Amino acid sequence: MGILADKIHLVTAEDPDHDLTALGAEAAGVVLCGGPDLDPRWYGEEPQESADLSILPELDRMDWSLLEGAEQGRTPVWAICRGMQTFNVFQGGTLWQDLPTQVQGILEHRPDVPHDSMAHSIRILTRQETFAEVLNGGSVEVNSRHHQAVRDLGRDIIQVAESPDGVLEVLVLDRPDWWVKGVQWHPENLMHVPAQRQLWSEFLVAADTRSRQDSNTPLLD
């Protein structure tokens, strides 16, 4: 999803008739949402049969093109679940194809519960980022719907928080010229939680700053 200075533009894998790289470069902000599994070939691996992957190549190409454009335009990126995983791979990192079959002692990260139910807590690894300050206001619980996760970190990525079993839950890009932050859970389902709303507010502020660089039309009042 690219957020433009005067509108929200929703792009899906079924709607490929766009110059996605240009859209990513020109948008005020880009939201990379959750979805099916990223094809392991993007990080140099063959799909493992035991991982039981659900792959949508059109979505992989769409997200990659948006990220290429976002990097060119220094467009803020808010990466959620699969989006965070995709960004890590975009930066040269890798993923666990399937946590239950590849990592011993893993928590249940895909519980059969309502989308706003909390699955586990997270622990802060660094307090140098605003995200950590927001999330460090007490014990933080998050929801969870994934079976893949970040394995090897990509370039210039800082680990901000993890789950009790060591799965990366929050990352930020350590570059002053490009705002990128990501979470492994689904904050869109937790808008009733003030800290979760604040994460969205941070992205909107970054997008508003980006839009003001190119236009006098504000994204936020």
Contact 155, 180 (CB under 8 A): no
What is the tally of structural domains in the chain? 1
Among the listed residues 161, 203, 146, the one whose alpha carbon sits nearest the alpha carbon of residue 29 = 203
Instruction: Given the residues 71, 81, 129, 146, select the one marked as catalytic.
Output: 81
DSSP state of 55: B
Residue 186 a catalytic site member: yes
Tokens of 30: 């880009």
How crowded is the C-beta side of 158, counted as CA atoms within 13 Å?
A: 18
Is 14 labeled as catalytic in the residue annotation?
no
List the CATH number of the domain containing 156: 3.40.50.880
The one catalytic residue among 45, 68, 141, 188? 188
**Is 221 contained in some domain?**
no
Overall size of the chain counted in residues: 221
What pTM was estimated for this model as a whole?
0.89
Q: Is residue 220 part of a domain?
A: no
Q: Which of 166, 172, 146 is nearest to 79 (CA)?
A: 172
201 lies in a domain?
yes
- 75: CB partners within 8 A, 6+ apart: 2, 24, 25, 26, 27, 28, 29, 30, 69, 210
Identify whether 188 is a catalytic site residue.
yes
73 lies in some domain:
yes
**Greater model confidence, 42 or 9:** 42
The residue from 109, 120, 146, 186 that is catalytic is: 186
- The predicted pLDDT at position 128 comes to 63
- Does the pLDDT at position 2 exceed 60? no
Is 219 part of a structural domain of the chain?
Answer: no
Tokens of 220: 């936020």
In which domain, by residue range, is 46 found?
Answer: 2-214
Tokens of 193: 């939680």
**125: which DSSP letter?**
S
pLDDT digits over 180-206, tens only? 999 999 999 999 998 899 899 999 999
Please write the tens of the pLDDT for every residue from 36-59: 999 999 999 999 999 999 999 999
- The verdict on residue 117 lying in a domain is yes
